[in-house]
Every structure is written in structure tokens, then in C-alpha cells.
Amino acid sequence: MSNDMLRTIANQIGPARMSRYISAANEDLRLAISLYGWNQRVGAELFILIGTVEVVLRNSIHRSLSEWQHRRARGESWFDSGAISLDRKSLRDVDLARQRILAKGREITDDRLVSELGFGFWRYLMTARYRANLWPIMRQSFAGFEPGQEAALFARVGRLHEIRNRIAHHEPIFGRRLDLDHRDCLLVLGAVCPVTAQWAEGISRIPEVLANTPLLR
């Protein structure tokens, strides 16, 4: 690839966005472009795995709260249960999710609400705010959870939500310990279902991509 082509690509990506890559590559534009492509690739692989974590996590939380609500012999959804005591922020998120479902011309169901609510909603349910009232209910669906490790589990979910958002906004992540982000994904999955964690680890290409970073060539 010619220098003119490299400069054209860098200009299209944008000087501000490319600056961190150029700095990391010691002003080598060819290496910086290669690093940018690698950053996109590893981000895509990590995004896939975090997507699995999000789906499994939200299904687990929804299942445990629904079962708890059913045992109370209440006809209402846990989303509307006064006993669950969602705070104003969470209730607002649920209301906005309902509005989006209606805007699509679809009927509101719990399954659709689960899918419509973002990772941030579920992550928020695993913060200190809800540790006293929701975690004792939710933990029954975490088959691989080690008692006494709530803080570590909640922190991992928080970190995964953070890097998911960074990837979604195409930000540089090459400076992170991505091997630890990969580990966080598998540990959170393992806390919910060790079998699913083993499957996800088996199909993950993240270790292969990490081993081929341009900065180590």
C-alpha cells in the first residue's frame, strides 16, 4: 500500500481518531493503520462474546425475578411489582422500553421487554443499589456463583458494560488488558452457567487475535 493510500485512509478515519494509533506506532503510519484495523477486529470479537454475556445474564435475572414473582401468586409482571421496588431510574428505563415496543406496532410482553432493555439496565440491577433487595432473589439463577463474591461479580459486569460501550463507539481499546476483559466475560458466564461458559470459550477467537497484535510483530 502506497504512502498516499495510507494518508488517504488516515484522513478518512480522522486525524483526532488516528492520533492515538500514530502515537502508539511511534509515528509509523503504516503500523498505525494496521493497529487501527486490528483494534476493530479484536473489538468485534469481544463484542460478540459480550453479546453472549448480555443475553445469558439478562435471561438469568429475568428468570429468577419471574419465578420469585410467580411464587408470590401475583398475576403482575415483576417489572410492575411493588415488592421488587425498582427505583425511578429503572422504572423510567422500563417505560421507555415499552414506548419503543409500541412504536414498532408490537404488543408489550415480558420477553420483548427483556430484549428491548439495554445492557445498562441489567448492569444497574447488579450494583450496590439493589444488593439488599434484588440480589438475594437473583442469585438463585447463578449456578456457578461463589458465595461472598458479589462485589467481584458486580465489578466484572460493570467493566464489561464499559468496554461494550467503548467498542460500540469505535473507540481505541488496544491499550487495555484485553485478556482480562476476555477473562471477565468467561467468569460472568461461568457464574450463571459453567456449561455455557465452556462453550463460549471454545468458540472464542479472542486469544488468537490477541496473539497477533501488530505491536508485537
Say if residue 210 is exposed, middle or buried (CB neighbours under 10 Å; 0-12, 13-18, 19+).
Answer: middle
Whole-angstrom distance, CA of residue 53 vs CA of residue 60: 10
Does pLDDT of 74 surpass 80? no
- pLDDT tens for 28-51 read 999 999 999 999 999 999 999 999
Model pTM score: 0.91
CB neighbour list of residue 65: distance below 8 Å, 6 or more residues apart: 78, 84, 134, 137, 138
pLDDT reported for residue 4? 79
Nearest C-alpha neighbor of 85 from the set 144, 26, 147, 130? 130
- pLDDT band at 147; cut points 50, 70, 90: confident
Task: Look up residue 145 and give its three cell numbers.
Answer: 456463583
- pLDDT tens for 4-34 read 788 899 999 999 999 999 999 999 999 999 9
Nearest C-alpha neighbor of 60 from the set 1, 138, 118? 138
- pLDDT tens for 83-120 read 888 999 999 999 999 999 999 999 999 999 999 999 99
CB 57 within 8 A of CB 121: no
